[in-house]
A and B are shown apart, each in its own frame.
Chain A
Amino acid sequence: MATVGVIRFPGTNCEFDTVEAIRALGGDAEILWHGDSSLGDVDAVVVPGGFAHGDYLRPGAIARFSPIMGAVVDAAADGMPIVGICNGFQVLTEAGLLPGALQKNAGLKFINAFQTLRVESTNSVFTSAAEVGQELSIPINHFEGNYTCSPETLAELQANDQIVVTYVGNPNGSVADIAGVCNAGRNVVGLMPHPERASHALLGSEDGNVMLRSLLQSVGATV
């Protein structure tokens, strides 16, 4: 069975939720340690939310130098599905696997709330099972989630259909309402919202499952 590796850095706090949500869908997931330099035999990687290395210097700035990130960069180049959620998105931008950066929220507040998202592209490993225009209720939980990039990068993202999900009602000032983007190869996706926190009716929404299901399907799991 295909296995999703979920990386734990010192300060990560969403790894168990992510593993649990994947397993609840019938997928297989295991925790990977940031200090290892190999991904073992996993078929996909999730960099989950939290405060890797205490967010010191900048969110993701130190995590990108963790030993496991070399293996993640190599795997991304080989086409392995790599997903960064919240702090994981920040780590992937710092590592240069995704364009742009996450700056502090425009409203100067940490925001923890359910947010309506709109699927903009289904041509990515994290949205392939969704539909363009589909609206998803998924929570955000961040202070530095205000996506920014140069006008040239934004034009490129738009031209290449790399904006994966946008906010309906922009909560944090992100340019072009961007909530998540993918790389040119479409196998690396980063987003600020937490799909694993919208994976069961008891959590208030199951809308995140379509994303987790997309990831599992991208590595051949039948879920």
Chain B
Amino acid sequence: MKFHAVVDIQLHPGIADPQGSTIERALPTLGFDGMSNVRSGKSVHLDIEAADAAAAEAQLQEVCEKFLTNPVIEGAEITLVEVS
């Protein structure tokens, strides 16, 4: 089976996020009020072949732990969509 995966990588709470802080400070100057807790991360999109969704998820978890994230400062959320 083929899946499209989106890996959403975010810094753990408390880890410095200069980009998020800068965006947050810029919002009111552009006239956008009422927005707070801006955090910026990164997303990695990829296609993956696997026996089933669980196998794809397990493999992506390993990739996240070993490569896509540094578990000391980041976590990741994986979203899978089957590609027909």
State which of A57, A58, A173 has its C-beta within 8 Å of the C-beta of B16: A173
B23: min CB distance to chain A, Å: 12
> Residues of B contacting A61 with CB < 8 Å?
67, 70
Q: Is the interface of A mostly helix, strand, loop or mixed?
A: loop
Residue of B nearest to A110 (CB): B18
Decide if B16 touches A94 in the complex (CB within 8 Å).
no
Residue of B nearest to A150 (CB): B72
- Is B80's beta carbon under 8 Å from chain A? no
Q: A32-45 CB contact bits vs B (8 Å, 1 = yes)? A: 00000000000000
Q: B38-73 CB contact bits vs A (8 Å, 1 = yes)? A: 000000000000000000000000000001101011
Residue of B nearest to A60 (CB): B70
List B8-23 residues whose CB lies under 8 Å from chain A: 11, 15-18, 21-22
Known contacts A104-B16, A148-B15: A58-B70 contact under CB 8 Å: yes
Decide if A105 touches B16 in the complex (CB within 8 Å).
yes
> Residues of A contacting B22 with CB < 8 Å?
108
Number of A positions contacting B (CB below 8 A): 18
Decide if B18 touches A108 in the complex (CB within 8 Å).
yes
- Is A103's beta carbon under 8 Å from chain B? yes
Decide if A103 touches B16 in the complex (CB within 8 Å).
yes
> Residues of B contacting A210 with CB < 8 Å?
none
With the chains together, A65 CA to B63 CA distance in Å? 13
Residue of B nearest to A59 (CB): B70
Decide if B72 touches A100 in the complex (CB within 8 Å).
yes
Residue of A nearest to B42 (CB): A57
Known contacts A57-B68, A61-B67: A101-B73 contact under CB 8 Å: yes
- Is A146's beta carbon under 8 Å from chain B? yes
Decide if B70 touches A149 in the complex (CB within 8 Å).
no
Decide if B16 touches A149 in the complex (CB within 8 Å).
no
- Is A25's beta carbon under 8 Å from chain B? no
Decide if B15 touches A103 in the complex (CB within 8 Å).
yes
With the chains together, A148 CA to B72 CA distance in Å? 8
With the chains together, A101 CA to B67 CA distance in Å? 14
B9: min CB distance to chain A, Å: 9
A-B contact pairs, 26 of them (CB 8 A): A57-B67, A61-B67, A61-B70, A65-B67, A94-B70, A100-B72, A101-B70, A101-B72, A101-B73, A103-B11, A103-B15, A103-B16, A103-B73, A104-B16, A104-B17, A105-B16, A105-B18, A106-B16, A108-B16, A108-B21, A108-B22, A146-B16, A148-B15, A148-B72, A148-B73, A150-B72
> A65-B67, A101-B72, A146-B16 provided; 9 other pairs, C-beta below 8 A?
A57-B67, A93-B72, A94-B70, A101-B70, A104-B16, A108-B18, A108-B21, A149-B72, A150-B72
Interface residues of A (CB under 8 A from B): 57-58, 61, 65, 93-94, 100-101, 103-106, 108, 146, 148-150, 173
